[in-house]
Amino acid sequence: MRKNIVAGNWKMNTTLQDAQALISEIVHMVQDEVTGSAVEVVVCPPFPFLTAVGKQLPEGSRFHLGAQNCHQKESGAFTGEVSARMLQSMGAEYVILGHSERRQYFQEDDELLSQKLKAALAAGLRPIFCVGESLETREADETFSFIEKQLKDGLFHLSNEEFDQVVIAYEPIWAIGTGKTATSAQAQEVHAFIREQIARAYDAEAALNTSILYGGSANAQNARELFSQPDVDGGLIGGASLKSRDFTEIIKSF
């Protein structure tokens, strides 16, 4: 089901105490200030803080818990890894997969991401699958073919029923953590293209029903303009999700 979603990716930030203070502030501000709109809020703290943060999310509210990654195997001798089932058992409903930082620093390729997607879905998690081009790719005018390939090779092997559970995030690498946001027109153009690709791979209904989030230097100042685009269904927020006031303002931008 297509929904408006604002997700906060805390990346490798906060201590347990910071995380608890941050989520407490966010929950209070959002509950006091966001009354009408149907936006769903997903918070993705680091693995060790999932339970603590999850406990602070009011039940039955707009808040949902997400993780930033999972391992592709169900269980076993993989020292230091975290399975999708573990995340689900801690209350996570979402998991970010295919983030450019995972692709770049941890060599996650389409084949591995395909396995992670299957593992997440099998455990009942909803993947937030990230795609996005580098500056080099954009400047070479290859953005669309690059994203088409990421979708085809990483995501479109899923069945219709599996794909129903997926949220897509368009995160141009050149916009992540750089303060250089895509313009709303640039975001809309790529989001519309992604929707078209979904219609081709599945059908028009699947395309209409998929939430597509924008990520990359989204903030309290530019969120309203980005979210006003017809194919932008919300945001995947990095830096600004670590500041309760900024994150709340972004949520209020719908």
Of 40, 108, 148, 171, the active-site residue reads 171
Residue 222 contacts ligand 13P per CB under 6 A: no
**CA atoms in the 13 A half-sphere facing the CB of 160:** 9
Q: Token pair of 22, please?
A: 């941050």
Q: Is 132 annotated as contributing to ligand binding?
A: no
Q: Is 177 annotated as contributing to ligand binding?
A: yes
CA angle 22, 60, 242 (to 5 degrees): 15
Residue 106 contacts ligand 13P per CB under 6 A: no
Residue 236 contacts ligand 13P per CB under 6 A: yes
Q: Token pair of 23, please?
A: 């989520």
Q: Token pair of 232, please?
A: 């932008």
**Residue 99 annotated among the catalytic residues of the structure:** yes
In the set 127, 238, 248, 252, which binds ligand 13P (CB under 6 A)?
Answer: 238
Rounded Cα distance, 29 and 23, in Å: 10
CA angle 173, 128, 67 (to 5 degrees): 100
Residue 97 contacts ligand 13P per CB under 6 A: no
Residue 211 contacts ligand 13P per CB under 6 A: no
Distances (CA, A) of 219 to 114, 243, 246, 249: 31, 10, 7, 8
**Cβ atoms 217, 178 nearer than 8 A:** yes
x/- track of binding to ligand 13P for residues 141-180 (CB under 6 A): ------------------------------x----xx---
Indicate the residue among 85 and 171 with the shorter CB distance to ligand 13P. Answer: 171
Indicate the residue among 42 and 176 with the shorter CB distance to ligand 13P. Answer: 176
State the minimum distance, in angstroms, from the CB of residue 160 to ligand 13P: 27
Listed in sequence order, the residues at least 6 apart from 184 whose beta carbon sits closer than 8 Å to its beta carbon are 222, 225, 226, 228, 229, 232
Site residues, ligand 13P (CB under 6 A): 9, 99, 171, 176-177, 215-218, 236-240
Active site residues: 99, 171
